[in-house]
């Protein structure tokens, strides 16, 4: 017998209807009005990753960026303070900065020549005798994101006056982030150009995928085959091969921390010893030469150093736009309802105290190549799948997107006392919890504000 589903019209912005325990409505990916609400309630209301301190190391350095869709300038001002200025002239609204990056003490608006210091203050207006107003009023200074804070080099901003502190917002996800940073000399990295990708799909499709261990052997089937095409004899399986067979029965797991943050840890599938990471690296340009060179130079210590050129097998996902995976820092940026940029910043090792005995350049030469692999041979297939979801979801009558893997199975998911949730690596609990948080954020009006420095 055929089962017929009547076609219904969902109640608009009824969040209990749109986001349920086991499924979400297609409208959250396809509706323009919901997207506009997200730009306010999420991309204005929570801490958003804006940039890394290594992108603006010196006073007066700046990069151009976005907070949601708002054009901003992230700068280290002439006094050394990091600010996120609205890239919007207070006269008639033109952008005042049109370069992606640079070093400048001030920004002059190309339209009528108003100019601003990089503290946001108005520095001058052409022919002021034609004005009767008092230009020392702060309303003529550039607007700024009221809260801008760094966590170990990662700069975040929010418009929400009631936002918790950045530390509190990050919460439990700080632990894997700290571990990821601490494996590097000096506990830090520098951004060093990027693999810049984009896809025609809603930004959430990327976030939904970020902790997904279910898709790996299907979506990345060509990469898995590629990484192991030359495998001979007893060589360890390379790359993502630890997803083969039944990944749920292995030691990998995922963890949900609250506030939409989660991470997947593949390290338990590896032996805990120096060199274990390097051993499972797939083939990369120069690896044999540099390995030989580093072994000759460092002897027994080479394994530990080579691990720094290897991808750290974790995914750390900080809601809504920051992902750390392998050695990349992946940042996502909505462009429109159905278009998203995803920039995979490469990171390099900074070894100011020579902890690597002069080998940092060699490690970086290797590390650049290990990092290019996944965006070239893996991510493109995911992005195509996201685009095809966006197309599938245009089917209006077929309403639901399911995310119930693991739901209702006894003993599969552990709720720890501190509120974190631990599950097997293919579980969709991270998605259900993120959607619960999304629903909470979308159901309330945040207390947003801009600020302007007084004169």
Partner 1 sequence: MKRETPSQKSYYVSDEWYQSLVDGYQDWQHPEAEITDLNTRDLVRRLLEKEACLLDETRLDDWLALYVPECAYWVPASLNQGDPRKEIAVCFDDRRRLEDRIFRLQNDFAWSQRPASRTARILSGITAYQSKYEEVIMVRSSFFTTEFHDGDWRKYTGWYGHRLRKSSENWLIEVKQVNLIDCDQNLRNLSVIL
Binding site for partner 1 (CB under 8 A): 100, 192-200, 219, 221-223, 225-226, 229-230, 283-290, 292-293, 341-346, 348, 361-362, 364-365, 368-369, 371-373, 376-377, 380-381, 383-385
Cis amide leading into 320 (omega within 30): yes
d(CA 197, CA 109): 30
Of the candidates 406, 36, 54, 79, the residue with the CA atom closest to the CA atom of residue 248: 406
Binding to Fe ion (CB under 5 A) within 359-418 occurs at: 382
111 is an interface residue for ligand FES by CB under 6 A: yes
How many CB atoms are closer than 10 A to CB 341?
A: 16
Question: Exposure of 132 by Cβ count < 10 A (0-12 exposed, 13-18 middle, 19+ buried)?
Answer: exposed
> Which lies closer to ligand FES via its Cβ, residue 136 or residue 336?
136
Stretch that binds ligand FES, among 92-100, 129-137, 160-168, 329-337 (CB under 6 A): 92-100
Question: Exposure of 281 by Cβ count < 10 A (0-12 exposed, 13-18 middle, 19+ buried)?
Answer: buried
Which parts of 93-252 are beta strand (E)?
101-103, 106-108, 115-117, 122-124, 147-151, 154-158, 189-199
20 is an interface residue for ligand FES by CB under 6 A: no
Stretch that binds ligand FES, among 43-51, 91-99, 325-333, 445-453 (CB under 6 A): 91-99
139 is an interface residue for ligand FES by CB under 6 A: no
Task: Report what 348 binds from partner 1, Fe ion, ligand FES, none; CB cut-off 5-8 Å by kind.
Answer: partner 1
> Which lies closer to Fe ion via its Cβ, residue 330 or residue 348?
330
Residue 142 CB, nearest approach to ligand FES (Å)? 11
Coil vs helix vs strand at 73: strand
Task: Report what 371 binds from partner 1, Fe ion, ligand FES, none; CB cut-off 5-8 Å by kind.
Answer: partner 1
Residue 223 CB, nearest approach to partner 1 (Å)? 7
112 is an interface residue for ligand FES by CB under 6 A: yes
In the numeric block, which tokens belong to residue 426?
């293919």
In the numeric block, which tokens belong to residue 431?
């998605």
d(CA 20, CA 436): 8
61 is an interface residue for Fe ion by CB under 5 A: no
Of the candidates 100, 89, 94, the residue with the CA atom closest to the CA atom of residue 56: 100
Task: Report what 78 binds from partner 1, Fe ion, ligand FES, none; CB cut-off 5-8 Å by kind.
Answer: none
Residue 328 CB, nearest approach to partner 1 (Å)? 9
Task: Report what 137 binds from ligand FES, partner 1, Fe ion, none; CB cut-off 5-8 Å by kind.
Answer: none
Binding site for Fe ion (CB under 5 A): 382
């Amino acid at each position: 017998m055929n089962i017929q589903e009547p076609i219904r019209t969902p109640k608009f912005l009824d969040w209990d209807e749109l986001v349920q325990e086991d499924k979400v409505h297609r409208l959250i990916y396809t509706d323009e009005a919901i997207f506009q609400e997200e730009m306010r309630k999420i991309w204005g209301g929570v801490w958003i990753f804006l940039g890394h301190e290594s992108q603006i190391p010196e006073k007066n350095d700046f990069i151009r960026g976005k907070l949601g869709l708002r054009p901003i300038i992230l700068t280290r001002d002439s006094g050394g303070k990091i600010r996120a200025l609205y890239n919007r002239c207070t006269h008639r609204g033109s952008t005042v900065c049109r370069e992606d990056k640079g070093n400048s003490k001030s920004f002059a608006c190309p339209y009528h020549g108003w100019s601003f210091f990089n503290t946001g203050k108005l520095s001058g207006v052409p022919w002021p005798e034609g004005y009767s107003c008092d230009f020392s009023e702060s309303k003529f200074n550039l607007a700024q994101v009221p809260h801008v804070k760094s966590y170990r080099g990662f700069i975040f901003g929010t418009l929400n006056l009631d936002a918790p502190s950045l530390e509190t917002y990050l919460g439990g996800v700080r632990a894997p982030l700290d571990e990821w940073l601490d494996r590097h000399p000096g506990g830090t990295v520098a951004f060093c150009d990027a693999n810049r990708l984009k896809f025609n799909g809603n930004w959430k499709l990327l976030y939904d995928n970020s902790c997904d261990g279910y898709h790996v052997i299907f979506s990345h089937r060509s990469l898995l085959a590629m990484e192991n095409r030359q495998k001979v004899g007893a060589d360890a399986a390379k790359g993502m091969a630890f997803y083969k067979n039944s990944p749920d029965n292995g030691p990998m797991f995922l963890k949900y921390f609250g506030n939409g943050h989660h991470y997947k840890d593949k390290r338990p599938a590896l032996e805990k010893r120096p060199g274990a990471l390097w051993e499972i690296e797939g083939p990369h340009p120069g690896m044999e030469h540099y390995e030989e060179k580093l072994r000759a130079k460092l002897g027994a210590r080479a394994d530990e150093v080579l691990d720094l050129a290897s991808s750290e097998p974790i995914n750390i996902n900080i809601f809504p736009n920051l992902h750390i995976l392998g050695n990349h820092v992946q940042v996502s940026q909505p462009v429109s309802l159905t278009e998203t940029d995803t920039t995979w910043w490469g990171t390099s090792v900074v070894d100011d105290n020579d902890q690597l005995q002069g080998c940092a350049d060699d490690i970086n030469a290797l590390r650049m190549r290990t990092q290019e692999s996944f965006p070239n041979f893996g991510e493109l297939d995911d992005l195509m799948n996201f685009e095809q979801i966006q197309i599938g979801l245009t089917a209006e009558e077929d309403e639901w997107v399911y995310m119930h893997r693991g739901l209702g199975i006894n003993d599969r998911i552990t709720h720890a006392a501190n509120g974190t949730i631990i599950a097997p690596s293919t579980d969709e609990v991270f998605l259900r919890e993120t959607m619960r948080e999304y629903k909470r954020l979308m159901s309330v009006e945040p207390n947003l504000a801009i600020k302007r420095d007084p004169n």
